[in-house]
Structure 1
Amino acid sequence: MSVIKTNAMNNFANADITDDIFFCRIMSEKQFALPLLQRIFPQLNIRSIEQPISQFTIKNNRKEHGVRFDVFSEAEQKYFDIEMQTTHDPTLGKRIRYYQGKMDSTFLKAGENYDLLPPTYIVFICTFDPFAEGAYKYEFSHIYDQTNHVTLKTGTHVILLNAYGTNPGSINGGLLNFLKLVAGEKATRYDPYLKQIQDKIAELKDNMQWRMIYMQEYNAIAVKERAEGIEQGITQGRAEGLKQGKAEGLKEGLKQGRKNSIALFIQNMLAQGSNEDDILKTLMIGFQLSEEEANDYLHANRVK
């Protein structure tokens, strides 16, 4: 059994709401996403939302760095991205900046007025304190540094939730209960919403079809991370090559290395009995290939 498959099985067995694949699946249902938004944003009085989209991807071309939102939804002409963040990321601020730009790029057509940009809300649910200030809820807006009384009205809102805050009186009880669930603690009082989430997780774990989907998605993520590592190596290698005046030769060598990695991945999946549709999907997600490119790679390695 491969290391990836073993890890996937262990993660599946121990999964809770912080597992990204489970989180996206559960929050893709209105009955779970709406109450969460209501707890995070009680001041907005959200009554209904459009169908949430999990793993919503924006990538305009192959050379561009795309983004994939965990859970994306619209509520009363406001747009929300909800992310589950379980690892410390020193570039989180710039990542949020990029997410915001990508989100905005989908709203306006040529010639339309900036006034048409809708309010947006980017939420990161963190299983750690991102600023070590003890707050459960960090909210950010564009405020004039000198007085703190003047706000730049961009319509953008960034919220970072911390599951391990120390000031429970600063947020509503419903949000506090949810964050305790994220932290693996018991709620301060019985909460039907949390019970529904836990029941849904148990239901999914008993569903063999969902288990197969989970394994495929986990494998795709692992492949994607490996591909990103290759791309990072290419970038670093190119920089070193430029210093040595050998950029072109290095680029070609690394490109061939990427091709070899894809070929090896295909051969391994074929040897494990994976069907071609699954291999194609994994190639497209993990290596950011077009359907045509993935088919070409599969054909080239199938006939050998």
Structure 2
Amino acid sequence: MTKSKTKRARKPLKDLTLLDRFLFDTAMGVPEICQNILSIIFSDREVPPIRIGISEKSQESYYDSRAVRLDLLAFDENDVVYDAEAQKKNTGGRNLKRRSRLYQSHIDVNLMEPGDLDFGKMNDVYIIFIAPFDLFGMKKYKYTFRMMCDEVPGTPLDDGAVRIFLNTRGENDAEESPELVEFLHYMEKTSHYDKIIENERVRELADQIENLKGSQEVGVKYMRLWEEMEELKQEAIAEGLEEGRAEGRAEGLKEGRAEGRVEGRNEGLAEGRTFNLLENIQKLIKNLNISADQAMELLEIPQEERAVYREKIESKS
């Protein structure tokens, strides 16, 4: 397949929603917008002014780019830590729930200096996932999790860690603030919902997002990122196919001759393809700071094959 045939059309910046990773991450990198979004999510309190912090001690995890993106965190003036993630695709309840655990662990490991034994100094941490699907199936807009005691119901561990899952398609409007409900609708329909916004704070956010979309700097950044991702995708596909054919053919013919059957060649081709696609997945993860699932999406790996690559990637971590 030629490069021109596989190249995708770039989605216009104006059509992005806040569930698109580029726009969400760009917005959360602006302290004023980040504070606005967090204050809407925590509608029972006003989140103090935010600073965007860069963790110099961050541990890179090549198989999950979001762990790498955790270098970028929001801190309020009380040093409460926030990490908010837009999750557009449903990769499974087990995957996403445990990924939230991974994110929390990556934050926690960087909150203390080596040798420091005063764990009471650890910051409060909020991990927030925003998604256009209901991970728990109870039609709620918001699911908040804290550690609780099994033996004494209602007794919290109070360890300062909270994980929140937001669902843009909840149905319990009467149980949540109108502000949060409208924000979650706006998250999914950013490009054409802004004209009918009623809540003042969400309207302010919509104006902030429109200003971002109209920024020349943001537009150039988006175009360059898309071009880099497309080039890497094309290179990875071409390299994987070529190396997979060459190595697989050589190994397959060798095994086929030894065993006196044609199947060896086919098995060798398959093994060569798997090896090279695995390398290309890891290359995309490292170079683009994207997740393994996003890398496999770019490489157009069939859904039924992806579990094999996830297992191989995680076994090397």
Fold conserved between structures, TM > 0.5: yes
Partner of 1:25: 26
Relative distance call for 1:14 and 1:27 in structure 2 (3 A) is same
Partner of 1:245: none
What residue ranges of structure 2 are gaps of 5+ in the alignment? 245-267, 292-317
Q: For 2:223, which of 199, 208, 215 is the aligned residue?
A: 215
In the TM superposition, residue 168 of structure 1 has moved relative to its aligned partner by 1.2
What residue ranges of structure 1 are gaps of 5+ in the alignment? 235-248, 266-280, 289-304
Q: Distance in 2 between matches of 1:261 and 1:174?
A: 43
* SS, match of residue 112 in structure 1: coil
**Mapped pair 1:191 → 2:199:** yes
Kept in 2, the 8 Å contact 1:18–1:182? The answer is yes
Q: Name the aligned partner's letter for residue 32 of structure 2.
A: Q
CA deviations on 1:121-171 (whole Å, 9 max, x unpaired) are 000111111111011110011112244222222210000011111111222
- What is the TM-score with the length of structure 1 in the denominator? 0.66
Superposed, which structure 2 residues align to 1:82-231 within 5 Å?
82-90=84-92, 91-113=95-117, 114-184=119-189, 190-220=198-228, 223=232
Q: Distance in 2 between matches of 1:102 and 1:61?
A: 9
CA deviations on 1:243-268 (whole Å, 9 max, x unpaired) are xxxxxx99x96798479969xx9xxx
Q: Distance in 1 between matches of 2:74 and 2:122?
A: 16
Q: Distance in 2 between matches of 1:225 and 1:174?
A: 43
Q: Distance in 1 between matches of 2:34 and 2:229?
A: 23
Partner of 1:37: 38
User: In angstroms, what is the RMSD of aligned CA positions?
Assistant: 4.3
Relative distance call for 1:56 and 1:175 in structure 2 (3 A) is farther
Q: Name the aligned partner's letter for residue 191 of structure 1.
A: N
Kept in 2, the 8 Å contact 1:5–1:215? The answer is no
Q: Distance in 2 between matches of 1:84 and 1:287?
A: 13
Relative distance call for 1:64 and 1:121 in structure 2 (3 A) is closer
> RCO greater where, 1 or 2, for CA within 8 Å and sep 6 or more?
2
Q: Distance in 2 between matches of 1:121 and 1:167?
A: 23
Kept in 2, the 8 Å contact 1:81–1:121? The answer is yes
Q: Name the aligned partner's letter for residue 138 of structure 1.
A: Y
Q: Distance in 2 between matches of 1:123 and 1:78?
A: 13
Q: Distance in 1 between matches of 2:64 and 2:129?
A: 23
**Mapped pair 1:7 → 2:35:** no
Superposed, which structure 2 residues align to 1:57-68 within 5 Å?
58-60=58-60, 66-68=67-69
Relative distance call for 1:203 and 1:61 in structure 2 (3 A) is closer
Kept in 1, the 8 Å contact 2:82–2:126? The answer is yes
Q: Distance in 1 between matches of 2:201 and 2:45?
A: 19
Relative distance call for 1:258 and 1:195 in structure 2 (3 A) is same
Q: Name the aligned partner's letter for residue 111 of structure 2.
A: F
Kept in 1, the 8 Å contact 2:141–2:166? The answer is yes
